[in-house]
């Protein structure tokens, strides 16, 4: 194994940052706790900048289990950005409502480390361990407010169902190993159907209509393994019917962790989803595409219909995030083993929508955190008259909700348009139609929130205008600007994403060329 440790220096530094923050709290007990938050944010920003500059042109792997390429570096920086904005939004919230701040920030850093390793993984057991590091950090963070019974309940449900999903995923990995004899993506790709045929014969049989599957060989084990892995991942991303934990966990978690879970957790899982299905399982796309398509359709429908009934803002965003998972799964459905160029376009569309969604979601939650810091309330009706009390927060929430609904001028419109176009190009017109219809449905419940802010007078005795802390206000300005920029001019970002996803399909392109040469 070629172990070039300089390739994973950012991950070592992240682990060191978490340990230093926690150790500093033990040594500096009289220091204002908010400085641990600001120190964590500065550390994350520095690591992100250095990683982007030092590793962007790297294309190598660490012992065949971790890839360090454009895709990995893009998601490293992306995850660090998510953690940075989460920590900034959490400083005042944690200072007012939580204890053990250093441990809180340290767990956020450890969760981010798990995300980074997951996006870089090229081997199933490495990916599983990375996912568990991420999941265990989230289990603790969701229940971090121990005095809140909703927090304890949400954490317990999340942990119990998470353990079950991990068992499903491990069993799926064991079946894939039994079929292929390997857990490495690069080896699974050629051997995903049969370990004895050569590459050209595998894809030739696939192109000839047999799906590349020996009827009395690998088909049952391969299909069951794929279904179990997808089910495990479906839990992590809150796809229907694996979504039951999501509303309770979102409502019970501290608000910054709700934001982090909805943004970082889904981004990491889809980075894993995309690398796994493009590098390992693309030759067997005909075996899983309809299953994922049905999963996407049901997720979009159920998420939006359930959101219509919500009165609590965090539960509303929980079901909203479930529906967004359906849109993201459309990008997986659009992958096509017979058309590598189209598959790369679909992968780029998925990542673009993921970045647009995460930017928008963090903007919403940052604004709600600022409101909660003032009022201690998170029901939708509590937002009444916010446009009079704090116009900037009302504008930020409205812009983000319009983006989530897919309205023109905002990020959601551009990213949904591109991802639905990828589905249309792969022949899934019905799935794109469901996505467009679901977006119209979502507009209704987002408008109900906006209606509370702009068409009603403030309730209660607290009607005065209030200010938002400068760090949080600055973060909101950047996030809202990002939502508008992606919506109005997504081309530069899409070009960067497209160059990062190219490496995911190198093996598939080689296999396709081998078939063409027969």
Residue 67 predicted with pLDDT over 50: yes
* CA 294/CA 279 separation, integer angstroms: 22
Residue 338 CB-density burial (10 A; 0-12 exposed, 13-18 middle, 19+ buried): middle
- Residue range 498-509, pLDDT digits in tens: 888 887 887 666
Cα separation of 415 and 404, whole Å? 10
- Residues 6 or more apart from 226 whose CB is under 8 A from it? 172, 176, 281, 284, 287, 288, 291
Q: Which residues pair with 379 in a beta bridge?
A: 312
The token pair at 431 is 């799935």
Mean pLDDT, rounded, for 437-453: 92
pLDDT band with cut points at 50, 70 and 90 for residue 19:
very high
Taking only the tens place, the pLDDT of each residue in 404-440 is 998 998 998 999 999 998 888 888 899 989 999 999 9
CA atoms within 13 A on the CB side of 24: 19
Where helices occur in 143-265 by DSSP H, the ranges are 149-180, 185-191, 199-205, 219-237, 246-252, 255-260
Cα 501 from Cα 514, distance rounded (Å)? 21
Peptide bond into 33 cis (omega under 30): no
Q: d(Cα 290, Cα 296) in Å, to the nearest integer? A: 10
pLDDT score for 26: 84
Contact 21, 36 (CB under 8 A): yes
Which letter, b or e, does each residue of 424-446 get, where b requires 16 or more Cβ atoms within 10 Å of its Cβ? ebbebeebbebbeebbebbbebb
DSSP SS3 for 327? helix
**Secondary-structure breakdown of the chain: helix, strand, coil percentages, each rounded to the nearest 5:** 80, 0, 20
pLDDT digits (tens, 9 = 90+) for 252-304: 889 999 999 999 989 999 999 899 888 888 877 777 888 889 999 999 999 99
Q: Helices 34-55 & 101-120, crossing angle to 10 degrees?
A: 20
Could you tell me if 303 and 325 are in contact, meaning their C-beta atoms sit under 8 angstroms apart? yes
Q: Quick check: 79 pLDDT over 70?
A: yes
Do 115 and 275 form a contact (C-beta atoms < 8 A)? no
CA distance 351 to 452: 33
For residues 336 and 498, give the distance between their C-alpha atoms in angstroms, rounded to a whole number.
Answer: 16
Question: How much is the pLDDT for 214?
Answer: 45
Residues in the chain: 518
> What is the rounded CA–CA span in Å between residue 394 and residue 400?
10
Measured over the CA atoms of residue 235, residue 240, residue 490 and residue 502, the dihedral's sign is positive
Within 107-156, strands assigned E span none
Q: For 162-175, what is the mean pLDDT?
A: 90
Please, which residues have CB within 8 angstroms of residue 59's CB and are 6 or more apart in sequence? Answer: 68, 69, 70, 503
């Amino acid at each position: 194994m070629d172990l070039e440790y300089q390739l994973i220096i950012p991950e070592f530094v992240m682990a060191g940052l978490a340990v230093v923050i926690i150790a500093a709290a033990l040594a500096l007990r009289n220091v204002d706790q908010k400085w641990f938050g600001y120190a964590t944010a500065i550390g994350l920003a520095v690591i992100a900048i250095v990683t982007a500059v030092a590793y962007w042109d790297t294309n190598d792997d660490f012992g065949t289990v971790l890839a360090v390429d454009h895709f990995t570096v893009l998601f490293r920086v992306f995850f660090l950005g998510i953690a940075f904005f989460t920590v900034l939004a959490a400083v005042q919230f944690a200072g007012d409502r939580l204890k053990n701040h250093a441990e809180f920030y340290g767990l956020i850093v450890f969760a981010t480390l798990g995300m980074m390793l997951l996006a870089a993984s090229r081997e199933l057991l490495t990916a599983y361990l990375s996912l568990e590091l991420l999941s265990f950090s989230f289990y603790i963070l969701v229940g971090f407010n121990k005095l809140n019974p909703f927090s304890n309940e949400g954490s317990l449900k999340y942990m119990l169902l998470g353990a079950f999903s991990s068992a499903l995923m491990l069993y799926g990995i064991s079946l894939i190993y039994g079929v292929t004899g390997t857990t490495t993506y690069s080896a699974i790709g050629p051997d995903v159907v049969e370990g004895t045929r050569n590459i050209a014969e595998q894809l030739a049989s696939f192109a000839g209509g047999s799906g590349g599957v020996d009827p009395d060989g690998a088909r049952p084990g391969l299909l069951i393994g794929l279904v179990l892995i997808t089910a495990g991942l479906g839990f992590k991303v809150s796809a229907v019917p694996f979504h039951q934990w999501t509303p309770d966990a979102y409502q019970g978690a501290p608000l910054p962790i709700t934001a982090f879970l909805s943004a970082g957790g889904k981004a990491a899982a889809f980075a894993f989803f995309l690398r796994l299905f493009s590098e390992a399982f693309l030759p067997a796309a005909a075996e899983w595409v309809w299953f994922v398509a049905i999963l996407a359709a049901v997720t979009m429908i159920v998420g939006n219909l359930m959101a219509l009934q919500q009165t609590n803002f965090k539960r509303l965003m929980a079901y909203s995030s479930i529906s967004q998972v359906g849109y993201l799964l459309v990008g997986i459905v659009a992958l096509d083993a017979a058309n590598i160029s189209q598959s790369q376009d679909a992968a780029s569309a998925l990542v673009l929508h993921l970045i647009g969604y995460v930017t928008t979601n963090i903007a919403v939650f940052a604004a709600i955190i600022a409101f909660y810091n003032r009022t201690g309330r998170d029901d939708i009706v509590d937002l009444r008259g916010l446009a009079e009390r704090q116009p900037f927060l009302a504008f930020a929430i409205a812009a983000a909700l319009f983006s989530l609904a897919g309205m023109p001028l905002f990020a959601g419109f551009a990213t949904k348009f591109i991802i639905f176009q990828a589905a249309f190009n792969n022949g899934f017109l019905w799935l794109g139609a469901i996505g467009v219809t679901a977006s119209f449905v979502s507009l209704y419940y987002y408008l109900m929130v906006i209606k509370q802010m702009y068409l009603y007078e403030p309730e209660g005795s607290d009607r005065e205008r209030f200010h938002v802390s400068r760090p949080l206000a600055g973060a909101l300005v950047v996030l809202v600007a990002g939502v508008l920029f992606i919506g109005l001019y997504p081309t530069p970002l899409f070009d960067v994403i497209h160059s990062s996803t190219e490496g995911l399909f190198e093996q598939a392109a080689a296999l396709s060329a081998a078939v063409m040469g027969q």
